[in-house]
Structure 1
Amino acid sequence: MTYNPQQIIAKGPRLVAETAAEAIDNDAWLEGATYSILEEDEDRNIWRIDAFPTTEEEDERLQELLAEYPELVVTADQLADADWLAMALSGLPPVRAGRFFVYGIHDRGKKPLNAVNLRIEAGAAFGTGHHGTTVGCLWAYNDLLKKHRYERVLDVGAGTGVLAIAAAKTGTKYAVGTDIDAISVRISNENAKLNAAAARFVWANGLNHKDVRKDAPYDLVFANILARPLVGLSQSIKTALKPGGTVILSGLLRTQERFVKAAYLSKGFRVVRRIHRDAWCTLVMQRGS
């Protein structure tokens, strides 16, 4: 039986919403779940989770998990029997993050002349540039570029490839991205062609792929994934970076910042900067010499 896609919406106080979002991240059954969390009403302290299950099992598990938080008001709306992801993306405005302008084909006429324009088509991959984690990474990278140029950049968990493509469009000679999802790798490579960017993407679980090792050590590593994988990869990321190299970490909630930061501090990194956007945190850290 074909699954009819739904949008699950949960609204409630910030602490409860963040706790529920962290539970989604830590649930093995929801490892690939697509959701976002943002502030809907600052005055009333209402935060909102939007989840887009792609199977009946994922739908049921999301609703079971969210029901464990009685302070959240949970609703589910049936989505039209159409390419709902493309429809949703067509309604998203372009994103400006410093010098970077991220847009889809529906906004190709809005490209500013004074920007690094990145056309990103999501398909079934994560990372249009609208999510707080991706925007945080772009802002962090934009500010780093004011003082540095990076010849070798690695993007771990590339999604649509937007971060590695941004690097390739701003002077990086060797830009490589990885993802554990084969569809994301295909979409990333397609986006690199759309942007005439010399970035390449490979299917890899971890950092041991030969195409990752051959360009190491890297000057900069993006890792926009989830908190637990960020911690698990801390030693591998250190090894992939040159001494003094920079890592931009995201995909973590503010409530997970201390947990992730501690893992990297224990490996000899220092905090350069942190960016908070909605409920999300981006950490910029530098490897010790």
Structure 2
Amino acid sequence: MPTFTALTTLAGKAPAEALGDAMERLDPEPTGVGVFEIEDGSGLWEVGGYFTESPDIAGLALLAAGFGAKPFTVSELPETDWVAKVKRELAPVRAGRFLLYGSHDADRVPTDVVPLLIEAAMAFGTGHHGTTQGCLIAFDELLEAGRIPARVLDVGCGTAVLAMAAARVAPDATVVASDIDPVAVEVAEANLAANGMAGRVLCLEATGLDHPQIAAHEPYDLIFANILKGPLIDLAPEIAAALGQGGSVILSGLLNEQAEDVINAYSLAGLSLSARRSIGDWTSLTLTLP
């Protein structure tokens, strides 16, 4: 089945969200619509839709004109068996003591690792990205230093790789994972079940730390936030307030050149930099509340 994409950009969150809502009423209707801020300081937002039928080109042109957006770029994606592609290209990944693997590689898992199964069909957040690897290595370094957390929060958990890692090595810990996307919460729970850890992590739909059950488990010894520069900076005061004395945050989702701005934001919130690691274009940070 062919897949078509239609993408445009425009200035401002409110107009972008309104355009995304209007796209939902097209005929044929999109199977999904996304609205994202472009993290380059331009103030532009990207609005895109996926279609299983060729979209209404005239309707898209009218929408773009009506909302002051650039003309939509419409493309047909080649048909790809994504699961087969992932199986071919994504080998097991070692990050400190942790090994992330798909079920197709179950016979290649050594005995001297902490294994975490991530199915190929849930490829986003498998650990092949430098941000996830950096967070796991940073966590491994805390564990090597004897820092076993009793309360852990994974903000923007995605597939919940980081939350699962914490729950696996600290079986008595309280681990909470949150994401703004309800689909991510479902994927997190599916990953937990696949690893024999159903119910081991409390998975919540939340914007940042805005959830009563997140507040109920404060203060945290360790907070992961592998998201983006903008949200990381915005959340610095809340994350610092949710952290217990001597606790640590592990942050990523940052291009190397963005790290200093995030360090400064968390320094203003009272945290000090403990470790910094770059993998490719991406930086991961560990900061501690004295």
Per-residue deviation, 1:80: 3.8
Residue correspondences, number: 237
> In 1, Cα distance between the equivalents of 2:142 and 2:178?
22
1:89 matched to 2:91? The reply is: no
> In 1, Cα distance between the equivalents of 2:46 and 2:180?
16
Match of 1:40 in 2: none
Between the two proteins, what is the percent identity of the paired residues? 41
TM-score normalised according to structure 2 size: 0.74
Q: How does 1:19-30 map to 2 (within 5 A)?
A: 23=40, 27-29=44-46
Match of 1:150 in 2: 149
Per-residue deviation, 1:212: 1.0
Per-residue deviation, 1:167: 0.2
Aligned partner letter, 2:260: R
Q: How does 1:259-278 map to 2 (within 5 A)?
A: 259-278=261-280
Give 5+ residue unaligned stretches, structure 1: 7-20, 34-52, 58-63, 65-76
Change (3 A) 1:96 1:193: same
Specify the structure having the higher radius of gyration (Cα): 2
Cα offsets for 1:42-61 (capped at 9, x unmatched)? xxxxxxxxxxx95789xxxx
Per-residue deviation, 1:3: 3.2
Aligned partner letter, 1:23: D
Q: How does 1:95-244 map to 2 (within 5 A)?
A: 95-121=93-119, 123=121, 126-146=124-144, 147-172=146-171, 173-197=173-197, 198-244=200-246
Is the CA contact (8 Å cut-off) linking 1:125 and 1:159 kept in structure 2?
Answer: no
> In 1, Cα distance between the equivalents of 2:120 and 2:174?
23
Per-residue deviation, 1:182: 0.8
3-state DSSP of counterpart to 1:29:
strand
Per-residue deviation, 1:243: 1.4
* Deviates further, 199-208 or 152-161: 199-208
3-state DSSP of counterpart to 2:126:
coil
3-state DSSP of counterpart to 1:145:
helix
* Deviates further, 192-201 or 165-174: 192-201
Per-residue deviation, 1:82: 4.1
TM-score normalised according to structure 1 size: 0.74
Match of 1:9 in 2: none
Structure 1 vs Structure 2 CA RMSD: 3.0
Q: How does 1:43-62 map to 2 (within 5 A)?
A: none
Cα offsets for 1:166-211 (capped at 9, x unmatched)? 0000015211111111111001011111112311211101212122
> In 2, Cα distance between the equivalents of 1:88 and 1:263?
40
Per-residue deviation, 1:24: 9.3
3-state DSSP of counterpart to 1:264:
helix
Q: How does 1:273-284 map to 2 (within 5 A)?
A: 273-284=275-286
Is the CA contact (8 Å cut-off) linking 1:121 and 1:160 kept in structure 2?
Answer: no
Per-residue deviation, 1:229: 0.2
> In 1, Cα distance between the equivalents of 2:246 and 2:43?
32
Change (3 A) 1:287 1:201: same
> In 1, Cα distance between the equivalents of 2:120 and 2:90?
12
